Amino acid sequence: MINIRFYGELKKYNNNIPFASLKKEKKIMISDIMNIFKRPLKECHLILLNGDSVYPAIELNDNDFVSFFPKFKNIDISPIQILNLSGLIDTHSHLDEFENISETLKIAKEFGVDKIVGVGSDYNSNLKLIDLIKKDFPLKIFIALGIHPNNLNSDIEKGIEIIKENIDKIIGIGECGLDYKYKGFNKDLQKDVFSRQIEIAREYKKPIIVHSRGAWEDCFDMLSSFDVEKANFHWFSGDIDILKRIIDRGFFISATPALKFSKPHKDAIKFAPLERILVETDSPVKYFERPSEPKDVIITIKHLSILKDEPVDKVIEITNKNAKEFFGF
């Protein structure tokens, strides 16, 4: 049984829902409860799960107690959790990998996301992103095109050409870089493809989105040797020494929902000044055993707020300013 309680003007929806009747092929989340009662998330400013403030994307278990609160007119609950947000920016999502992109973006908008940067990883994903920006969606989609270091078995030449051919349609180059995590990688090939994309970024004055897992120093050295002006070390989890050089160089790093469980990522984000941090999801990568979506940028923001001991509104204000500075939108 899931125990549901709505408060204030929402209280008429109070009910208990048999957990077994909900659990079919997928795990049940709090947002599913709102859908059952046909209540938009914007009506709710606070959700408690067994007494703790949570976000709507969290999964439910049998015997959970969920409380929904409407807008508090005279009480500032921002130190706890505000759900009715707007103007959020997800600076890194692989939008080409979503099966139902219209529904994904509709939900993101309901959660307060206004802008998303769709990031390419190879020739085919770049093609899909180019097609995506021709369509109408309830929020603004920007795209960056690139070749990921783990996708070098695809047609590299076509991948490079499509970036150049569509340079006026994109706001950045990426996701590109180096990845030394897995055995058997070709370091020389990775560096060659990365350097070609750095050259494009420099020639056309585009910011570059860098994948640097296990290769943080080499990525930094290559960017510096090409005198790149704008770079973001996506999902940075490297050591503090190289992070100091990244920050001193004026580059950005980005935070993800992995702040909740990754100590290296958390340590890096804690050290970096908020003015050098972008927020993202890297969706649809899995966190907490489920695929993420652009709406989950609120998870990043929530944990960044806690880590920096700053109000959610201030975190949004500063990271939005950072995103606009980096991408120029």
Name the residue with higher pLDDT: 79 or 123.
123
Mean pLDDT for the stretch of residues 3-24 = 56
For 2-69, the fitting CATH number among 3.10.20.30, 3.40.50.150, 3.20.20.70, 3.30.70.920 is: 3.10.20.30
**CB neighbours (10 Å) of residue 301?**
24
Span between the terminal Cα atoms of the chain, in Å: 47
Predicted confidence (pLDDT) per residue in 132-154, tens digit:
999 999 999 999 999 999 999 77
How far is the CA of 213 from the CAs of 179, 197, 205, in angstroms? 5, 17, 25
pLDDT at 28: 76
Mean pLDDT for the stretch of residues 299-304 = 92
Rounded Cα distance, 20 and 25, in Å? 11
Name, in order, each residue with C-beta under 8 angstroms of 121's C-beta and a sequence gap of 6 or more.
Answer: 94, 146, 147, 148, 151, 175
Torsions phi, psi for 72 (to 5 deg)? -85, 115
Sign of CA dihedral 243, 228, 305, 35: negative
Beta strands in 65-182 (DSSP E): 65-69, 88-93, 113-119, 140-145, 172-177
Predicted confidence (pLDDT) per residue in 19-74, tens digit:
555 555 566 777 777 777 666 666 676 778 776 667 777 777 777 777 777 765 44
pLDDT at 323: 98
Q: pTM surpassing 0.75?
A: yes
Q: What six digits make up the tokens of 272?
A: 């970096």
Strand partners, 5: 67
Rounded Cα distance, 173 and 206, in Å? 7
**CB neighbours (10 Å) of residue 84?**
15
Instruction: Please classify residue 329 by burial: count the beta carbons closer than 10 Å to its beta carbon, then call 0-12 exposed, 13-18 middle and 19+ buried.
Output: exposed
Q: What six digits make up the tokens of 266?
A: 């958390």
Name the residue with higher pLDDT: 291 or 39.
291
Predicted confidence (pLDDT) per residue in 175-234, tens digit:
999 999 887 789 999 999 999 999 999 999 999 999 999 999 999 999 999 999 999 999
SS3 assignment, position 176: strand
Residue 6 has pLDDT above 70, yes or no: no
Residue type at position 166: N
8 Å CB contact between 252 and 322: yes
pLDDT at 78: 43
Q: Residue with structure tokens 């996301």?
A: 113
Domain limits, the chain: 2-69, 88-327
pLDDT at 75: 44
Mean pLDDT for the stretch of residues 309-324 = 95
pLDDT at 29: 76
Does CATH place domain 88-327 in 3.20.20.140? yes
pLDDT at 74: 47
pLDDT at 22: 58
Name the residue with higher pLDDT: 305 or 16.
305
8 Å CB contact between 174 and 200: no
Residue 107 has pLDDT above 80, yes or no: yes
Rounded Cα distance, 159 and 193, in Å? 10
How far is the CA of 7 from the CAs of 4, 50, 66, 72, 213, in angstroms? 10, 15, 11, 11, 46
pLDDT at 38: 67
8 Å CB contact between 75 and 47: no
- What's the chain's average pLDDT? 87
